[in-house]
Structure 1
Amino acid sequence: MAHEKRFKGIPMSKSMRGLCKEEDYAFLGISEKTEGAGVLEDNWRGDKEKRIRWRQEREQKEKERLREIEESRKEKEQQWRTHVANVTSSQEKTLQDRLARLRRFREFQRKVLVEESGQEVSTAILTANQLLTRM
């Protein structure tokens, strides 16, 4: 009742308040103890059920949001692992290629030094190795 809020600040005895309530219910055509209480109780139950349903929906949405965040985190972690594995394998391949080219070049240098020295093959290889290690 709207007037209850408006006149709440006015000092009034409990018996006077009770009379006002009775007059209000009489005016509305409802008995305070039977119908009014039943309607209020039904409204209260309906509101309580709504609050419970809303709370459950919020909890469900929060669980779903947390699950999506966890899935996203796992997916990003997997993508990162895949990326790191690809980078590592490509670096290893690059290093292996460079090592193979360097070995071929060293063999070529040895061969050229042995041919230019004109010495015996075993002595020339030994001398070439010494020269190459100095370089």
Structure 2
Amino acid sequence: MTHVKQFQRIPMSKSMRGLCKEEDYAFLGVSEKTTRETAEGAGALEDDWIDRKEERVRRRLDREQQERERLQEIEERKKEREQQWRTHVAELTSSQEKTLPDRLARLRRFREFQRKLLVEESGMEGGAADHTVNQLLTRM
């Protein structure tokens, strides 16, 4: 009857318990030894599992750090390109501001030259000639 007490925690019906004998449960005695060995092995497995979990966490953190560094480098390159563009635009603007007055002066001289030629070719002088020349220059 000792087997009834020993194996009482095994779920089975009362009628089934009555049919079973101690010899039927002899393999369970062997399993206690293997259970101890399994418990030791399970401890090793649990340590391996913890190590793998820590390794996964470490790799994830490394990937996140690399991604942050990559995004930071991209942002820095973007800012550098933007600054280069601003410098380029400022240089172009300053050079254009320098050339515009020169171009304006050349254009005025050319218009005066055109006006003189048109007055000479028309052979007219005075206010009527100026009015006609202005109309011709406006059409051009």
Q: TM-score range by the shorter chain?
A: 0.5 to 0.7
Task: Quote the residue 1:45 is aligned against.
Answer: 43
TM superposition shift of 1:110: 5.7
Question: What corresponds to 1:122 in structure 2?
Answer: none
Deviations 1:47-74 (A, max 9, x none): 1111101100000000000000000000
Q: 1:13: which partner in 2?
A: 16
Segments of 5+ residues of structure 2 without an aligned counterpart are 1-12, 117-140
1: CA distance between counterparts of 2:49 and 2:72? 34
Percent identity (aligned): 9
Partner of 2:84: 86
Partner of 1:22: 26
Mapped to 1, the partners of 2:82 and 2:22 lie a distance apart of 79
Q: Confirm whether residue 99 of structure 1 aligns to residue 103 of structure 2.
A: no
| CA distance in structure 2 between the partners assigned to 1:101 and 1:18 by the alignment | 111
1:68 and 1:21, CA in 2 relative to 1: closer, same or farther beyond 3 A?
A: farther
Change (3 A) 1:43 1:68: same
Distance 2:25 2:78 in 1: 71
Task: Say if 1:98 and 1:32 are closer, same or farther in 2 by CA, change over 3 A.
Answer: same
Residues 55-66 of structure 1: pairs in structure 2 closer than 5 A: 55-66=53-64
Question: Where do 5+ consecutive residues of structure 1 fail to align?
Answer: 1-10, 26-30, 118-135
Aligned length: 102
CA deviation vs aligned residue, 1:1-24 (integer Å, no higher than 9, x gap): xxxxxxxxxx99357497544236
CA distance change for structure 1 residues 14 and 58 in 2, over 3 Å: closer, same or farther? farther
Larger Rg: 2
Note the alpha carbon deviations across 1:18-52, whole angstroms, 9 max, x for none: 75442365xxxxx443x323201111101111110
